Structure 1
Amino acid sequence: MSNVEAGSGITVTGIDDRYGALCQGFNQRWSSHPDYIKVVRSTDDVVGALDEALNSGRTRITVRSGGHCYENFVANPGVQVIIDMGQMDRVHYDPGMGAYCVESGSTNWHNYTQLYRETGLTLPAGSCYSVGAGGHISGGGYGLLSRRHGLTVDYLYAVEVVVVRREPHGDYQAEAVIARRDDEGDLNDLWWAHTGGGGGNFGVITRYWFKDLPRPPINVWLSAVAWSWEGGITYDRFARLVANFGRFCAENSEPGDEYADLFSILKLTHRKAGKIGLITQVDATNPAAGRDRLDSFLAQIEDGVGLQRAEFDVDMGEHSPIPGLHEEPRLMPWIQATQALNGSGDNRRGKYKSAHMRKPFPDDQIEVIWNFLSSTRDDPDDDYDNTQYANPDALIQVDTYGCMINTIGARETAVAQRDSIMKLQYQTYWTDPAEDSVHERWIRELYRRVYRTSGGVPLPATAGGEADPDAVTDGCYINYPDRDLSSDEWNTSDVPWYRLYYGDNYERLLRAKRTWDPHDIFRHDQSIR
């Protein structure tokens, strides 16, 4: 059963039918058994929920918006209270702020439909429909329109955060604070910390406000092609395909590039999946010009590869089959194309890793990736045999990046990576808990070998404010968290996990933490310390 507490939301306890479902998020590796879950509907509810929990001795509180955290930051055995933001999903224009307000429980798809239908505007955010705004935006946020319009946080004007104060030896007291881009001092630090600092660090995010939002394309061309593993994918052909994609990104990632309105996702799947895939969207407001750019792009990617195109008719990571677009792309209204790509994958177990790329893939990285995806022995002298792994749901997803994203300075927002050309997401999925160690080991070994010359991790390009012009990588993405980065076993570099995420921006995040959460109420395994 559940009950409504005055000013603190709906309390769901262990005797409620909903309890089990609300204890677990998208990644079924992680579960929890809190004393209760609070389903909140307003900022006042959040204030009341925090006061109630903290002053009853429950100091392990986590917050969920969409439930897509890849690690155990929300659901873990130590959590005592989960604050569920899902009912705070309003999207509207706020005349007092002169900005569009998005509540933190709203999902990507809800944001798109509400903004577009009412205003014709959009957020350049992610394609997974059910990801919640609370975590997605605070980590930076990007998607298929980001090369043209930048990151989600590049439009962030203000954020409302419920923080916790405490007088010496007194009760905890929660209060809502609004921090704006044009504030100064500590308030500006709080705003800035939510432009890429990640969720679960400073307080409970309740609302965001955005100004100067862009208009999406009227129409887009949508293409989905694949190449069959059994159709002749050899190492040379695979290496050429990957190199071509990297070369395109290196040559077409400057602001104002003629391909800035093109976003593409290369799905480098395990051989067991049957096919490698490529999803591409390009602005077709001018249909002929958009089609020319799409055809030119595909020709550049397939140049010298020598493989027959096939249908994209198998699951590839978080994208379901998109058949019928391998020979002729489809001209679609932007909102319909967004819906067509609005996948989040099945609720299952998963492990993820990430990397920002500043240059095309070096040959040694391509070779390691080939060995692990094709089940070719990587290192005969090593005790790990990658040829024994055969999972159709294992892949590396490579996204185009750069262009407008790279017009913002590395210190202007908390997102330090502002000169990358590609973003990588290593993924593997499964359903049987008994297989956890098998799948975790494979992705860990793959990642360690790809970055074997840099301590098993993709090093940041900056050190003390100076960017190495020859650096291939630039750290990791906080919205694809990976606790292995904190492990001495899997990160043998001298670069700590927080530098991999935040580069030289960590000190300012730490300053905001000391000011706004000095009691470390909001914490997890990779929170700001």
Structure 2
Amino acid sequence: MTGTPGGQAPGTQPEGRHRPAAAIAVTGADRQYADLVSGLNQRYTAAPEAIRLATSTEQVVGVVQEAVRRGKRLSVRSSGHCYEDFVYHPDVQIILDMSGMRNISYDPRLNAIAIESGATNLQAYQTTYPRWGVVAPTGFCYSVAMGGHVSGGAWGPLCRTHGLVVDHLYAVEVVVVDAAGRARAVVATREEDDPHRDLWWAHTGGGGGNFGVVTRYWFRSPGASGRDPRGLLPRPPAELLVNAVSWPWAELGRADFHRLAQNYAEWHVANSSPDSPQRALISQLVLNHRSAGQIGMVALVDASVPDAEQILSDYLKQLGDGVGVAPGAMTAAMGELPALPRFAQARRLPWLHAVRMLGTTNSVLNDPTLRAEYKSSYMRAAFPDGHLEALYRHLTRDDLSNPNLNVLLTSYGGRINAVDPAATAAPHRGAAFKMLWQAFWNDPADDDRYIGWARDCYREVYADTGGVPVPGDVTDGCYVNYPDIDLGDPRFNTSSVPWHDLYYKENYPRLQQVKKRWDPRNVFRHAQSVTLPDA
């Protein structure tokens, strides 16, 4: 270990000799309570005794210690984006809100860029890039905070060229609880001789809410040298080539749909190797329900590579090969993407402008009545015919009319696949692209209808493997940051593969040992948390 923050003894931060100011408590008697007991997905609302708003590691230690001492069920919120009820659960009695911990700075002790867990993607980009010209390669969504995002193995617009954000994680500070019930802060690094290295490893894809409360991360790329923060993390391209097109559903037949989706898959399978020259391109294909009117595609290409325009042109040519409909402008918002009609012809944008535009300009992410259902998969190979037919059938159902039903295909592979599956807790290092089922609606009366659509579509796509994407030659499991409680329900997962192996594959037993060491009392738990090995 090369150093610790604040001059503390290596590896831990004690509670201190003085009593710090306690984290603010918000209870049901306070007018702001209703704003703090639910997140982005309004299907889930909690009724805790209090929400505790922390602004320092010492306050986090205090809140956790109080919860343990009083025997209170605790959950942790960074930005409220959890897809399931892991934070806003009826049994939760104290919600620890980390959104006030947003500091971003260069830490000379660890020679790394420190980002607290309440800082969002956009805050991180808008701080590190203007200051130092570098970024931790996190995600698209502007309002997702670092806490759970990083620990789940976050990916984003730079993933094919620079890997996952955890591939650049140097250290993490976590408030843990030992067997005696004592809360303390521990700093764990990736240094081979760090006695706490297993805790660092668990936060490179092990998911949030499992081992303790993350208060901050430190980022420094492997192999980075010197002490200038401008050389410690990836440099995004100065410009991106941005293109957005769509295909009208009214003109797409079954064969056209099959061909379009398969073209996307085949291009990514062919260009998923770590050294592929095409890793400069990342793309999303939004397979909307027919009631949306369009299927959309957004592509981003590193404009600094000499053949950027040709990479995009070749990609578009392959995407449209055999599709009997020419693409046009993307005139409708799709999922979390805005309408982008002015990018029907590719345009160059400064990197930060492009990422900010794509992450902030869709009202779905700011809808206080949003209700949602999500499911995920990793794909290693092109689609079997049965997958394509099930997708087509459910995206053209005429018993539903909701433009906010879609299956999102997203680029993966490239430098992600240069890392050994056991080197981090994020094991999906052979995938070519990812899939995300999204259903958005506003009326609670429609819950069963749209949850049912997602369940039915997903189950039929993976009917040959027990209703879930079992790791194998074609599929490779699920993304832990898109949690799906159905994966553990035998009504929906009829395979022999448990939910935790879909998320973690062969890494799960190792995660259980980390759990045993650092959370032996199982203080940090939810419906899909890592279990103790003897549970």
TM-score with structure 2 length normalisation? 0.91
Deviation at 1:184, TM superposition (A): 4.3
From 286, 291, 295, the equivalent of 1:276 is 295
Write the distance in 2 (CA, Å) between the matches of 1:95 and 1:359. 44
From 237, 247, 252, the equivalent of 1:217 is 237
From 150, 175, 187, the equivalent of 1:178 is 187
From 39, 47, 69, the equivalent of 1:55 is 69
SS of equivalent residue, structure 1 residue 341: helix
Q: Counterpart of 1:234? A: 253
* 2:349 maps to 1:349: no
* 2:341 maps to 1:323: yes
Kept after mapping to 2: 8 A contact 1:8/1:47: no
Q: Counterpart of 2:282? A: 263
From 11, 16, 19, the equivalent of 2:25 is 11
Write the distance in 1 (CA, Å) between the matches of 2:207 and 2:43. 21
Kept after mapping to 2: 8 A contact 1:186/1:512: no
SS of equivalent residue, structure 1 residue 259: helix
Write the distance in 2 (CA, Å) between the matches of 1:370 and 1:396. 11
Kept after mapping to 1: 8 A contact 2:74/2:96: yes
Moved over 6 A (4+): none
Deviation at 1:303, TM superposition (A): 1.3
Write the distance in 2 (CA, Å) between the matches of 1:360 and 1:184. 42
Write the distance in 2 (CA, Å) between the matches of 1:66 and 1:31. 14
Task: State the AA in 2 paired with 1:351.
Answer: E
* 2:211 maps to 1:198: no
1:14-163 equivalence runs, <5 A: 14-58=28-72, 60-163=73-176
Deviations 1:70-96 (Å, cap 9, x if unpaired)? 000000111000000001001110001
What are the ranges of 5 or more consecutive residues in structure 2 without an aligned counterpart? 1-18, 222-232
Higher alpha-carbon deviation: 103-112 or 306-315: 306-315
From 267, 270, 293, the equivalent of 1:248 is 267
Deviation at 1:26, TM superposition (A): 0.7
Q: Counterpart of 1:383? A: none
| RMSD of Structure 2 on Structure 1 (CA) | 1.2
Write the distance in 2 (CA, Å) between the matches of 1:332 and 1:415. 32
* 2:411 maps to 1:397: no
Task: State the AA in 2 paired with 1:335.
Answer: L
Q: Percent identity?
A: 45
Deviation at 1:142, TM superposition (A): 0.3
Task: State the AA in 1 paired with 2:391.
Answer: I
Kept after mapping to 2: 8 A contact 1:186/1:515: no
Write the distance in 2 (CA, Å) between the matches of 1:42 and 1:313. 45
Deviation at 1:252, TM superposition (A): 0.9
Deviation at 1:361, TM superposition (A): 0.9
Write the distance in 2 (CA, Å) between the matches of 1:433 and 1:262. 39
- Count of residues in Structure 1 that have an aligned counterpart in Structure 2: 497
SS of equivalent residue, structure 1 residue 319: coil
SS of equivalent residue, structure 2 residue 492: coil
Kept after mapping to 1: 8 A contact 2:179/2:519: no
TM-score with structure 1 length normalisation? 0.92
SS of equivalent residue, structure 1 residue 260: helix
Deviation at 1:125, TM superposition (A): 1.3
Task: State the AA in 2 paired with 1:478.
Answer: V
Task: State the AA in 1 paired with 2:501.
Answer: R
Q: Counterpart of 1:311? A: 329
Q: Counterpart of 2:393? A: 371
What are the ranges of 5 or more consecutive residues in structure 1 without an aligned counterpart? 376-386, 462-470
Write the distance in 2 (CA, Å) between the matches of 1:406 and 1:20. 43
Task: State the AA in 2 paired with 1:401.
Answer: Y
Q: Counterpart of 1:410? A: 421
Deviations 1:211-263 (Å, cap 9, x if unpaired)? 13110001110011011111x10001111111111110111111121111100
Kept after mapping to 2: 8 A contact 1:47/1:162: yes
SS of equivalent residue, structure 1 residue 420: coil
Kept after mapping to 2: 8 A contact 1:7/1:48: no
SS of equivalent residue, structure 1 residue 121: coil
Kept after mapping to 2: 8 A contact 1:368/1:446: yes
Task: State the AA in 2 paired with 1:75.
Answer: Y
Deviation at 1:174, TM superposition (A): 1.0
Write the distance in 2 (CA, Å) between the matches of 1:183 and 1:107. 30
Write the distance in 1 (CA, Å) between the matches of 2:104 and 2:312. 34
* 2:318 maps to 1:300: yes
From 307, 320, 323, the equivalent of 1:289 is 307
Kept after mapping to 2: 8 A contact 1:64/1:74: yes
Kept after mapping to 1: 8 A contact 2:179/2:520: no
Kept after mapping to 1: 8 A contact 2:101/2:116: yes
Deviation at 1:185, TM superposition (A): 7.2
From 297, 322, 340, the equivalent of 2:357 is 340
Write the distance in 2 (CA, Å) between the matches of 1:441 and 1:105. 33
Q: Counterpart of 2:6? A: none
Deviation at 1:321, TM superposition (A): 1.2
Task: State the AA in 1 paired with 2:197.
Answer: N
Deviation at 1:52, TM superposition (A): 2.0
Deviation at 1:186, TM superposition (A): 5.5
